[in-house]
Homo-oligomer: A and B are copies of this chain.
Amino acid sequence: MANKRKIINDPVYGFITINHPLLFHIIAHPYYQRLRRIHQMALAYLVYPGAVHTRLHHSLGAYHLMCLAVNELKDKGIKITDEEDVAVKAAILLHDIGHGAFSHALENQILQNVHHEALSLAIMHKMNKELNGQLDTAIAIFTNQYPKKFLHQLVSSQLDVDRMDYLTRDSFFTGVSEGVIGYDRIIKMLTVHKEELVVEEKGIYSIEKFLVARRQMYWQVYLHKTVVAAESMLINIFKRVKELSNNGNDSLQTHGALDYFLYEYKGGVDEEVLKKFCELDDTDFSFAIKKWSNHNDFVLKTLCNALLNRNLYKIKLQYEAFDATYINELQQKAMQRFKVDESLIQYFVHSGTAINTLYKTEDEKINILYKDGSVKDISTIDNPLIHQTITAPIKKFYICSLE
């Protein structure tokens, strides 16, 4: 198997090459194959019909960019051993292995207060046992325990290959050209200084472009108002189901992997929870929503039919909070229209804030290496465009109502 090579067609980058037994093993693993059944962009396909690509596809893409980055750094004389080479690639292949059904949209809903990265790590440890420690270095890199910090930074930082791939890929599949970044140019500009990943000075315009593109993708795509409406609807469906099933009401049963989380799950993450979590994917929810569209609970049935047939909430999105009178007005209308009382109105009129909790921006540490050898954090650089992009608050208020 040592010399086996496989190439995979990717519409975004052309061809992706796999050439190491450990990487083959990871990709063939049922936990990895599960990512085929999880949409990368949750319900965004209801607005962008092409956005049906999967978590598996994204993680293959990020792996491909990692291959390019590693080659580029080696070509510049940075030392990366064969073991590190395969470990950093294993780490990126597995970085999203802990994503659950409908990704970010249902994050913190199925397993409350458990972040997908913690789950990724737990699953890596599980696979590592099966593999007798072959993932030790990959895990050290993933958890930033490895001495060569830049390897971790390639997997997870402001300029990691994860972000470069998801911006590029999401832009490609949605057709939103505003999100295109010069990933190849950025990769050509990467280098290592004191074991940290830095960007050469002449790459600054590409970074500028990267930051602006990310901002645009938030507003045009990730937080597009109709996407927010669809995802709110999905969350409300799940809330209603939990509410109903808490009474032990078995009419919610799907006769599939979801039932455990409706009836048995008590919180926390142990061996059993992890096993059950890995049996769950988008299929279970998609099927359940079709099934519940015939349920006799009026709220559940109404929301499921609405999502199924794309009669989404009408939504308003704005920079200021909505005033109470306006919300009240919408609620009164909905109560009349749907003949529901106040206890259920949250399912028909729903307000909140769209904020990029989904994507980290808190620590914009992108380090620029100047020709004179000095290094500056990008947030300290005198570039008005970058400043605005970094500091501009990405938060809006929304109100959804069913009509």
Task: Please give the residue numbers on chain A whose beta carbons come within 8 Å of chain B beta carbons, in ascending order.
Answer: 3, 5, 7-12, 14-15, 17, 19, 28, 30, 33, 36-37, 45, 48-50, 52-54, 56-57, 60, 75-77, 172-178, 180-182, 184-185, 188, 205-206, 208-209, 212, 215-216, 219-220, 253-257, 279, 283-284, 286-287, 290-291, 308-310, 384-385, 387-389, 392
List 13 A-B residue pairs with CB atoms under 8 Å apart, sorted by A's residue number: A8-B49, A9-B176, A10-B49, A12-B50, A15-B185, A28-B309, A49-B54, A205-B216, A209-B216, A212-B212, A215-B385, A256-B287, A286-B287
CA–CA, A254 to B283, complex, Å?
13
Chain B nearest CB from A99 CB (Å) reads: 16
Among B48, B52, B182, point to the contact of A177 (Cβ < 8 A): B182
CB-based closest 4 A-B pairs: A11-B175, A287-B287, A9-B175, A384-B388
CA–CA, A75 to B33, complex, Å?
27
The reply to whether A286 and B3 contact each other, CB–CB distance below 8 Å, is no
The reply to whether B184 and A14 contact each other, CB–CB distance below 8 Å, is yes
Residue of B nearest to A9 (CB): B175
Q: With A49-B54, A177-B180, A291-B256 as known contacts, state yes or no: A308 contacts B172, CB within 8 Å.
A: no
CA–CA, A11 to B392, complex, Å?
29
Q: With A9-B50, A255-B291 as known contacts, state yes or no: A205 contacts B180, CB within 8 Å.
A: no
CA–CA, A77 to B2, complex, Å?
12
The reply to whether A75 and B209 contact each other, CB–CB distance below 8 Å, is no
Chain B nearest CB from A5 CB (Å) reads: 7
Contacts of A50 in B (CB 8 A): 9-12, 53, 57
Among B5, B8, B33, B279, point to the contact of A76 (Cβ < 8 A): B5
The reply to whether A309 and B205 contact each other, CB–CB distance below 8 Å, is no
Q: With A206-B178, A385-B212 as known contacts, state yes or no: A11 contacts B283, CB within 8 Å.
A: no
The reply to whether A11 and B174 contact each other, CB–CB distance below 8 Å, is yes
Q: With A50-B53, A56-B49 as known contacts, state yes or no: A172 contacts B254, CB within 8 Å.
A: no
CA–CA, A178 to B177, complex, Å?
11
Residue of B nearest to A169 (CB): B50
Contacts of A5 in B (CB 8 A): 75-76
Residue of B nearest to A213 (CB): B209
Residue of B nearest to A210 (CB): B178
Contacts of A176 in B (CB 8 A): 9, 182
Contacts of A206 in B (CB 8 A): 178
The reply to whether B256 and A290 contact each other, CB–CB distance below 8 Å, is yes
